[in-house]
């Protein structure tokens, strides 16, 4: 671990990065909302129509949380706690989105990686690893619950997972967990190197 990995980001810089994070988050959900409206207007199929309500609820939650974040950004002194809270809540929202798009069948698990990269850029190695852990636990729990038929994700096209898919589910969980931690380590290392180079130039 480098000497910089334990240092905290300057409050002014962190505030700027949090504002960027909120903008990117709203932009992504706005694109999803636009896609949802487009699909609903065209009435492609009942399948898509069924999952739109849950999508709108998630998008509304993101807009509402963004408003809360803006208020807290102006009032809180410890912005690192706000950063951790935002990123961890993002992992829950992503899990909910995967739940509404098929669970095991959903291909939106890559959204976890975007959050992990942002955590590594904002909070360096510790933040990246914490968000990677949260993503691994939530994604693994979601797939396990789907496999054991304790939940039935919206939008699932195939029949409930069969018993002989256990090895496949375990493989997916292990691969995603390894990918999450690998991304956290690499992105935090790159972020720390950039910060070290910048500090040396300033010195």
Q: Token pair 């910048």 is at which residue?
A: 198
Q: If we measure between CA atoms, which residue out of 160, 162, 166 comes closest to residue 144?
A: 166
- Extract the tokens encoding 128: 């990246």
pLDDT digits (tens, 9 = 90+) for 114-144: 999 999 999 999 999 999 999 999 999 999 9
- The DSSP call for residue 7 is S
Percent of the chain predicted with pLDDT > 90 = 43
Q: Token pair 């942002």 is at which residue?
A: 118
pLDDT at residue number 30: 83
pLDDT at residue number 105: 83
pLDDT at residue number 179: 97
Calculate helix-pair angle for 79-99, 11-42, nearest 10 degrees: 20
Report the C-alpha gap between 25 and 115 in whole angstroms.
10
pLDDT at residue 180 is higher than 70: yes
3-state helix, strand, coil in the chain (%, to 5): 80, 0, 20
């Amino acid at each position: 671990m480098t000497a910089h990995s334990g240092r905290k980001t300057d409050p002014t810089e962190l505030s700027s990065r949090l504002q960027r994070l909120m903008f990117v988050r709203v932009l992504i959900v706005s694109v999803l909302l636009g896609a949802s409206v487009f699909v609903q207007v065209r009435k492609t199929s009942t399948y898509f129509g069924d999952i739109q309500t849950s999508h709108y609820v998630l998008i509304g939650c993101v807009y509402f949380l963004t408003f809360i974040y803006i208020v807290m950004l102006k009032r809180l002194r410890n912005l690192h706690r706000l950063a951790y809270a935002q990123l961890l809540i993002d992992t829950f929202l992503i899990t909910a989105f995967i739940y509404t798009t098929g669970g095991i069948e959903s291909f939106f698990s890559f959204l976890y990686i975007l959050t992990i990269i942002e955590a590594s850029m904002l909070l360096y190695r510790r933040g990246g690893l914490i968000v990677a852990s949260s993503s691994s636990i939530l994604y693994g729990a979601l797939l396990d619950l789907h496999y054991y038929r304790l939940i039935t994700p919206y939008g699932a096209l195939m029949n409930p997972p069969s018993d002989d898919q256990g090895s496949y589910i375990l493989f997916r969980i292990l691969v995603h967990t390894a990918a999450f931690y690998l991304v956290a380590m690499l992105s935090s290392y790159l972020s720390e190197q950039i910060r070290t180079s910048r500090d040396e130039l300033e010195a």
